[in-house]
Amino acid sequence: MTRALILSLAIAASPAAALETQNGAVTVSSVVTGLDQPWAVAPLPDGSLLVTERDGALLRVVDGKARQVRGAPQVVAAGQGGLLDITVARDFATSRTIFLTYAKKQGRGSGTALAAAELSADGTRLEGLRDLFVSAPGGETGRHFGSRVVEGRDGTLFVTIGDRGDRPSAQDRALHNGSVVRVNRDGTVPRDNPFVGQDGVLPEIWSYGHRNPQGAGLDARGTLWTSEHGARGGDEVNQIKKGANFGWPLISYGVHYSGAKIGFGSSKSGMEQPAHYWDPSIAPSGLMVYQGDMFPQWKGDMFVGSLKFSYISRLDVSGSSVREVEQIESDDTLRVRDIVEDTDGSILFISVGAGAVYRISR
């Protein structure tokens, strides 16, 4: 039996289940099961979903059935690398454009790359695949690709990149490691990027000093937020600011895995403080600021998936102040990799542990 046929038979088998939250009961139902290391999910206007699997497969899910979409980029599926994030362009209804991030082969190693393509009218293949950005210089480790892509309100694209396991490189602006980069939709550098024209600084860099930001999303004002893996303790939520230094590896609220102190401790002049941090670490991945109408009591709240403790963290956001107010947990929240808002205001999340996409709804 072919994998495509097997996937087409992977219809959500588990019944919908009630889940109690601080704001009353919600329903958790499976959308598709039988996935292999799913990494990201993106809803399409027609009600179908696109899902990436780390080994390189791009899937389109319709009525609980997943079919492989041809034409995805060739990826280096090693360590934490592979086919990673996916974002549907805001003007998809007219452009059919989607954005993908992936680990691209670079010499003996790989680096985080951003690609764009158009989804065919029948949803079976990508057309016109092209790289918009490839991080420099890449690396031979399989760690810390970051790799969320977010479309800003002005149409520019933000991409998160980890330090690739090379801690000092996050402070070296001659490299893309440990940064959030910003490019135009055609891959060119926006003229208002903070370091354009500065010698020895890569012009795509928007902010730097990040360890491994695996979650990113916009709030209602268009502000970019990230969730980032710390070392031992010190996982962070950060409100991203133009040109800012977020301190890694010079400051952190965590410690090295050996127990040794990190850099200068928790603060240093000229470096940003996190809006929130977790100790112990939760291994955050996937961030969404809810803006829908299905759950009005959650509007403006931030949701972050935990890979380590298998729950969804709900955080209250008041300006630049963020605090965790609830941990949403069930048998389905096993290693939550991604969390997004669907077009109807329901919430989709990926459980790597279950190999499934689930929906939270009324």
Residues in the chain: 362
Closest C-alpha to 125, from 98, 103, 93: 98
CB 247 within 8 A of CB 207: no
For residue 190, the SS3 value is: coil
- How many distinct helices (H) and strands (E) make up the chain? 2, 25
Closest C-alpha to 244, from 162, 198, 180, 201: 180
Is 256 catalytic? The answer is no
Give CA 204 to chain center in angstroms: 19
Distance in angstroms (rounded) separating the CA atoms of residues 222 and 176: 23
How far lies 23's CA from each of 302, 325, 328, 330, in Å? Answer: 15, 11, 11, 16
Q: What angle do CA 119, 124, 130 make, to 5 degrees?
A: 40
Options 144, 176, 210, 276, the catalytic residue: 144
Helix (H) or strand (E) holding 5: helix 3-8
Give me 211's structure tokens.
């360890």
For residue 292, the SS3 value is: coil
CB 306 within 8 A of CB 323: no
List the beta bridge partners of residue 241: none
Distance in angstroms (rounded) separating the CA atoms of residues 336 and 216: 14
Q: Which residues are catalytically annotated?
A: 144
